[in-house]
Amino acid sequence: MAATASSSSALTSSSAHNWQDALLDSIEVGIVVVDADFTVHQFNQFMENHSSVSASEIKGKSLFAYFKEIDRKWLINKCQPVFSMNTPVFVIWEQRQYLFKFGTSRPITSSSDHMYQNITILPIASANGQVDRICILVYDMTDQAMSKERVEKLNEELKVISRVDGLTGLFNRRYWQERFEREFKLTYRNKKPISVLMLDIDHFKKVNDTHGHQAGDRVIQSLAMLIRKATRETDISGRYGGEEFVVLLPDTNTETARVVGERIRLVAERYAVKHEHIEINFTISAGIAEFNSSYTRPLMWLEAADQALYKAKESGRNKVVLAE
Ligand SMILES: Nc1nc2c(ncn2[C@@H]2O[C@H](COP(=O)(O)OP(=O)(O)OP(=O)(O)O)[C@@H](O)[C@H]2O)c(=O)[nH]1
C-alpha cells in the first residue's frame, strides 16, 4: 500500500512538473529564473528558440557567461530592489532596446536586425518571505517599436515637407518667417551682427509673358539653386513670394552681406536658364538691412530690406542697395 501511495504521489508531482514546463514552453514570452548569483534555474522554449542556447546547457550556470551583451552592472542594479524589497521592476524598450540580443523573427518585413524587448523582473519569494530567486520575463516588442518608429519617421518627413517650398526646395514663407522671428529675438540678446537680404527677379512678368509660365518656373528654380550655392549652410534662405526671395545671414555685417548680394547678382546675370531649346537670361535686384536695435519688431527690419530693394528697382534694377 505504502509503495502504491508513494508511486502515485511521484506520478502526480512529475505530471504537474511536465504540465508546468509545457505551459512555460508554450507561451510567447521569454522566462528566465535566476538566483542572487544569477545562476540560471529556469530557461523556457522561447529563450531556447531565440538564443540557440538549450535549457539543459545553461541551467546551473551563470547567465552572464552565456549572454555577454548584458550590461552586468546595470542588471545587478535593476534587480537589487527585486531581491531586497520584494517588488517587481519593469524596463521598457524605449529605455533600453533589449536585454538579450536576439535576432528578429521577421527579418524580411522588419527594418530592425534585433528584437526590441520589454522586461519585467518579478520576485519569487520562498515561504519565509525571503526573495532568493527572480523571474525575468522577456516580451517581444519589435512590431510595436517598428510601427512607432515608422510613425515618427513619417511625422519627421511631414514636418520637413511643411517647411519647404515645393517649387524651389528652399524654406517657405511661413517657416522662414518663424526662423526670422527667432533670430530677431536672439540677436536682441547676443548683439552679434546679422543681416537680411531680400531679392526679386527683374521684369519677371516679361519672362512669363514671353516664354510661358513653365519657363518662369524654371527661372525661379534656377535662382533658388544659385542662392543655395552662393550662401553658407548656416544662412537661412526662403522663397518669400512668387519671384521674391529672402536670405538671413547670421554673423554678417552690412559690408559682408553686400558681398553675398553682389555674388548672387553676378551669378544670376551670367546664368542662362535652358528651357525647351532656348536660353533665358535674367537679372535680380536686392535690398540689404543689417539688424540694429532701432528695429523693435521683426517686420520693421524686413521692411527696411524691402525699401532698399524698392530703391534698387527704382534706380535701374540689377543692383544691390543697402538700407539707410
Ligand atoms: N512662373 C511663375 N510666375 C510667377 C510665380 N509667382 C508669381 N509669378 C509671376 O511673377 C510676376 C511678378 O511680376 P511683377 O510683380 O510685376 O514684377 P516684375 O515683372 O518682376 O517686375 P519688377 O519686379 O518690377 O522688376 C507676375 O507676372 C506673377 O504672375 C510662380 O510661381 N511661377
Give distance in angstroms: CA of 273 to centre of ligand 1: 16
- Give me the interface pTM, i.e. the ipTM: 0.90
What gap in Å lies between CA 192 and CA 293, rounded to an integer? 11
pLDDT in tens, 207-245: 999 999 999 999 999 999 999 999 999 999 999 999 999
Minimum-distance ligand 1 atom for the alpha carbon of 242: 6
- Residue 137's pLDDT is 98
pTM given for the model = 0.68
Give distance in angstroms: CA of 266 to centre of ligand 1: 20
Q: How many CB atoms lie within 10 A of CB 323?
A: 22
Spatial CA neighbour of 226 closest among 275, 168, 277: 168
Minimum-distance ligand 1 atom for the alpha carbon of 317: 25
What domains can you pick out in the chain, each with its CATH number?
2-149 (3.30.450.20), 164-322 (3.30.70.270)
- Residue 112's pLDDT is 76
Locate 228 and state its grid cell: 543655395
